[in-house]
């Protein structure tokens, strides 16, 4: 692929990252009970990883002399701070699945650095989904 196509692929992944509701969780103080406070700490660690993905994608686009897409905020996530972590888990897991599909669909760009980053991000999201599924099972069992 040529440089423009690589930039377009990275920008499409960045747009999916930006539009994903997971990013909004960073900005909200989702309610957690005492019993799920450890889960909230784990969620915060995973959200930090998502933030790093966004930064790496933007840096990779800039390094190839491209312009990162602007961040979009999904207004439907405005009420997240009124919800419990348990009630958000299905949305969170769906969001991670969306990210996994986007990275799977991105395919190979022919740029070793971009392909390596895409593979790393995909692997991270697959592990993240497993973590969220375990958390959700724990939260449901604690009911």
What average pLDDT does the chain have? 85
Is the model's pLDDT at 30 over the cut of 60?
no
Task: Return the percent helix, strand and coil in the chain, to nearest 5.
Answer: 80, 0, 20
The model's pLDDT over 47-68, given as tens digits with 9 standing for 90+, comes to 889 999 999 999 999 999 999 9
Rounded to 5 degrees, what are φ and ψ at 75?
A: -70, -15
Burial of 76 (0-12, 13-18, 19+ CB in 10 A): exposed
pLDDT at 47: 83
pLDDT at 36: 58
13-35 burial string, b = 16+ CB within 10 Å, else e? bbbbbbbbbbbbbeeeebbbeee
| CB 128 within 8 Å of CB 136 | no
Please give the model's pTM, rounded to 2 decimal places: 0.87
Residue 31 three-state SS: strand
User: Treating both helix axes as pointing N-terminal to C-terminal, what angle do 3-19 and 37-63 enclose, rounded to 10 degrees?
Assistant: 160
Q: Does domain 3-141 have CATH number 3.20.20.70?
A: no
Q: How many CA atoms lie within 13 A of 83 on its CB side?
A: 16
Q: How far apart are CA 35 and CA 40, in angstroms?
A: 10
């Amino acid at each position: 692929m040529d440089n423009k196509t690589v930039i377009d692929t990275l920008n499409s992944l960045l747009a999916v990252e930006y539009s994903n509701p997971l990013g909004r969780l960073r900005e909200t103080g989702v309610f957690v009970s005492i019993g799920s406070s450890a889960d909230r700490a784990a969620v915060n660690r995973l959200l930090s990883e998502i933030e790093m993905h966004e930064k790496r994608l933007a840096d990779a686009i800039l390094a190839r002399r491209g312009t990162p897409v602007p961040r979009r905020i999904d207004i439907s996530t405005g009420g997240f701070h009124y919800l419990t972590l348990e009630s958000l888990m299905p949305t969170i897991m769906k969001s991670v699945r969306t990210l996994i599909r986007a990275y799977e669909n991105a395919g190979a760009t022919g740029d070793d650095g971009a392909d390596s980053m895409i593979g790393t991000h995909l692997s991270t999201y697959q592990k993240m989904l497993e973590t969220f599924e375990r958390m959700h099972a724990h939260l449901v069992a604690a009911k």
